[in-house]
Structure 1
Amino acid sequence: MKIGILSDSHLKSDYTKEVIDFLKEIESDYLVHAGDLCLEKNLQLLEESGLKYMAVFGNNDRHLLSLASNYNIKQEPYYFKIKDTTFKLMHLPYYLNPDSDVVIFGHTHIFECDYKNKTLFINPGEVCAREKPLIECVQLEIKENEYIISRYFKKINEINFTKEEKKYER
């Protein structure tokens, strides 16, 4: 199972589309957005991807609350399960406790990946390239006994994403 993870799109729908297309190209089965979509267009891009997706509202998404019934976007923290793996999804990193197999968060615009007490914590960085000139996302591959975290990033004017990989035993 492969899960494409993105966060902090802000006003960059073109970058969001590029990331979603890339995550589809590398055969992600699901998309997870950790908030600060900021525009309905970014929600539409998730919906139009054809993949199952889930998203949470970020601190800059209050004006999108009325759209919750139109899209798969939830209040944080949002708990869900895919196959036998439990997830907690949030934007603000306020609930970073090990109460799920995988905890996904955003807000800081900084890629983070850590495995503590049998919980994987992931922040995919930023799509919007606001804090640094990088467009970032993550693909999480979940195998029976292993997590494979592939971080993808590229400079705004580059064509191809660079890949860094981490592995943890489950």
Structure 2
Amino acid sequence: MLIGIMSDTHDNLPAVRKAVEFFNEQNVELVIHAGDYVAPFVARELKKLKAPLKGVFGNNDGEKKGLHEVLGIADEILEIEADGMKIAVTHGTDERIVRALARSRLYDVVVVGHTHRYEIREDGRTILINPGEVCGYITGIKSVALLDTRKREVRIVNIETGELLGVMSL
């Protein structure tokens, strides 16, 4: 299964549109959003995804009721199973929770956002993926990740340039 991973869209509709186009072109089968949509109107662009969207709240998501109503977002921690791979998703505001999820040995992959910096790293037997920021406000780089559960590979891509920013085999 090819999974698109995004985070920290922060109402930047042109950037969200670009991420949606990228995921649709890649024919992803699922999109994970690690939080900080910010306002429900971002749903206009996210609903253009061809794949289902699953996500969690971030620390800047103030209109949780509206986000739940338009996107179905309801949790701060999400568990997903894909091709036998167990994935946990949390925004990452509390690093203690991220470490606990990674070290629990319950998950193959833990997806986070919050820092706005892309990263793929190992923590024991768990891979931590931060796709960076779609909005580009802090780093200036608009990035997303692709997790291929069949190839067991993660790639981070700059959605403006198409540049491969990182890759790791699982």
TM-score normalised over the length of structure 2: 0.86
Q: What is the aligned partner in structure 2 of residue 151 from structure 1?
A: 156
Structure 1 residue ranges without an equivalent (≥5):
none
Question: Are the equivalent residues in 1 in contact too, given 2:35–2:91 (CA < 8 A)?
Answer: yes
Which structure's residues are more often helix, by fraction?
2
Residues 167, 130 of structure 1: alpha-carbon distance in 2 compared, 3 angstrom cutoff: same
Q: What is the aligned partner in structure 1 of residue 74 from structure 2?
A: 74
CA-to-aligned-CA distance 1:40-78 (integer Å, 9 cap, x gap): 132332233121110111111121334414423132111
Residues 86, 44 of structure 1: alpha-carbon distance in 2 compared, 3 angstrom cutoff: farther
- The letter for the 2-side match of 1:125 is G
Residues 93, 102 of structure 1: alpha-carbon distance in 2 compared, 3 angstrom cutoff: farther
Q: What is the aligned partner in structure 1 of residue 2 from structure 2?
A: 2
- Secondary structure in 2 matching 1:134: coil
Question: Are the equivalent residues in 2 in contact too, given 1:115–1:168 (CA < 8 A)?
Answer: no
Counterpart mapping for 1:1-170 below 5 A: 1-94=1-94, 95-96=97-98, 97-98=101-102, 99-143=106-150, 146-153=151-158, 160-169=161-170
Structure 2 residue ranges without an equivalent (≥5):
none
Residues 118, 20 of structure 1: alpha-carbon distance in 2 compared, 3 angstrom cutoff: same
For the aligned residues, what is the CA RMSD?
1.8
- Secondary structure in 2 matching 1:31: strand
Cα distance in structure 2, aligned partners of 1:68 and 1:133: 29
Question: Are the equivalent residues in 1 in contact too, given 2:43–2:70 (CA < 8 A)?
Answer: no
Residues 163, 56 of structure 1: alpha-carbon distance in 2 compared, 3 angstrom cutoff: same
Q: How many angstroms does 1:33 deviate by? A: 0.5
Q: How many angstroms does 1:11 deviate by? A: 2.0
Question: Are the equivalent residues in 1 in contact too, given 2:108–2:126 (CA < 8 A)?
Answer: yes
Q: How many angstroms does 1:123 deviate by? A: 0.4
Structure 1 residue ranges, 4+ long, deviating more than 3 angstroms after superposition:
none
Q: How many angstroms does 1:165 deviate by? A: 4.2
TM-score normalised over the length of structure 1: 0.86
Question: Are the equivalent residues in 2 in contact too, given 1:88–1:102 (CA < 8 A)?
Answer: yes
Question: Are the equivalent residues in 1 in contact too, given 2:110–2:126 (CA < 8 A)?
Answer: yes
Which structure's residues are more often strand, by fraction?
1
- The letter for the 2-side match of 1:166 is V
- The letter for the 2-side match of 1:112 is E
Question: Are the equivalent residues in 2 in contact too, given 1:78–1:88 (CA < 8 A)?
Answer: yes
- The letter for the 1-side match of 2:152 is Y
Q: Paired residues, what number? A: 163
Identical-residue share of aligned pairs (%):
25
Cα distance in structure 2, aligned partners of 1:127 and 1:66: 21
Question: Are the equivalent residues in 2 in contact too, given 1:125–1:136 (CA < 8 A)?
Answer: yes
Residues 68, 80 of structure 1: alpha-carbon distance in 2 compared, 3 angstrom cutoff: same
